[in-house]
Amino acid sequence: MTIEIKVPTLGESVTEATVGQWFKKPGDAVEADEPLVELETDKVTVEVPAPAAGVLGNIKVEQGMTVSIGAVLGSIREGGAAAAPAPARPAATPSATKAPAASAMPPAPAARKVLVEAGIAASEVAGSGRRGQVLKEDAVAAAAAARTPAQPAAKAPAAYVASPLAPVPVQQMRAPSIANDAMREERVKMTRLRQTIARRLKDAQNSAAMLTTFNDVDMSAVMALRNQYKDLFEKRHGVKLGFMGFFVKACLQALKEIPAVNAEIDGQDIIYKNYYHVGVAVGTDKGLVVPVVREADRLGLAEIEQTIAAFGRRAREGRLGIEDMQGGTFTISNGGVYGSMLSTPILNAPQSGILGMHRIEERAVVRAGQIVARPMMYLALSYDHRIVDGREAVTFLVRVKECLEDPQRFVLEL
């Protein structure tokens, strides 16, 4: 019995996807629910599982092609036998090394081109990429090894020794050729997710009157509170006590006081949102994604930390769904985890505000007339000046600063 592999429903407003990597080849045995192929949409990358156990038949849509929802990607022969193994290769010479085990992942496009030109099968090359995928550098190394014949080393020519006053030979002054530069370049098509990120960020710059205002915050109180209770917090709630939960709580207090930062413009109307869905920007190897902590104002600090931790795991595993990233009203981006000192984040349209966090470092500040070292962080609020005035933006950042420097405000909701 033959079962078709179809493009599943990928979420609201998503009508097409680009076929990524196939994890199996025709004739390979597959288990039910085993990932077969990646699909890249303009929001997420999803893996299509096998609808049943059997043998992968024909592949109708190759990597890089665009498909619509419900399109047939290939087929599975249910209960079929795996393809017969390839004939045994001739015995290798004593100097030959044992061929590496073939990977289920197809080689990268740039690597495939190098292997085809060198006449080398991908199964003969050990891949260093994810799931054993052959990357370009693996293919280049294999091609170089194939071109180098096994022969005794020739006697090296005498080295040129220049005297302090001797002119440098013209050969050593010659600049590398442009052709060599072109050979070292790699052209890779942008994924649909990366194309969408680029388009949305540029649209935000073109449509919004974007402005950024800055402030700094003394993190001493939050860090002391965290150090005092982090072990008990993790034991009680099963999640580490990070900084993001404090920032979400502080932003919620400020959003309630300055509702324009939680609003959006629709034509000639302003939509004030009486709910708080806070997006948390997460960097992945596929690009930037922003899962949303829904109804954040109704969650406790532990629930916020648990939600963010779960989003982080799913983002790294590529398991975020479309519904996880829809409906945000405000966004927080933490560039500090990468060492950023200061930046101006771009709005996540159609939202009117985004808060940028940065690294914590000890700086000299004045407290009670004394110069002391304090763990300081710069905060940046980018906002749409069409709806948020400068006074409101500054007030928003001041409220966030006040909450973080005096965490008791969370309990008293001040």
Enzyme catalytic residues: 385, 389
Q: Helix or strand or coil: residue 198?
A: helix
Residue with tokens 């808060």, as numbered in its chain: 355
How far apart are the C-alpha atoms of 270 and 290, rounded to whole Å? 23
* Cross-strand bridge partners of residue 178: none
- Find the DSSP H helices in 184-300: 192-207, 220-237, 244-257
**Cα(112)–Cα(147) distance, integer angstroms:** 17
For the beta carbon of residue 129, count every other beta carbon within 10 angstroms: 16
Burial of residue 24 (CB within 10 Å: 0-12, 13-18, 19+) is buried
Instruction: Say how many C-beta atoms besides its own lie within 10 A of residue 326's C-beta.
Output: 17
Helix, strand, coil percentages for the chain (3-state, nearest 5): 35, 25, 45
Which residues pair with residue 49 across a beta bridge? 35
For 123-141, the DSSP string reads GGS---SGGGPPPHHHHHH
Query: Residues of 86-107 as b/e, b for ≥16 C-beta within 10 angstroms?
Result: eeeeeeeeeeeeeeeebbebbb
Q: Give residue for tokens 């919004």.
A: 208
CB 202: neighbour CB atoms within 10 A?
Answer: 11
Under 8 Å between Cβ of 24 and 104:
yes
Which token pair is 213?
Answer: 């205002």
Nearest Cα to Cα of residue 345 among 296, 280, 294, 402: 280
Q: Which residue has the tokens 């980018």?
A: 382
What angle do the packed helices 220-237 and 390-405 form, to 10 degrees? 60
Question: What distance in Å separates the CA atoms of residue 135 and residue 142, rounded to the nearest whole number?
Answer: 11
* Surface-to-core class of residue 314, CB atoms within 10 Å of its CB (0-12 exposed, 13-18 middle, 19+ buried): middle
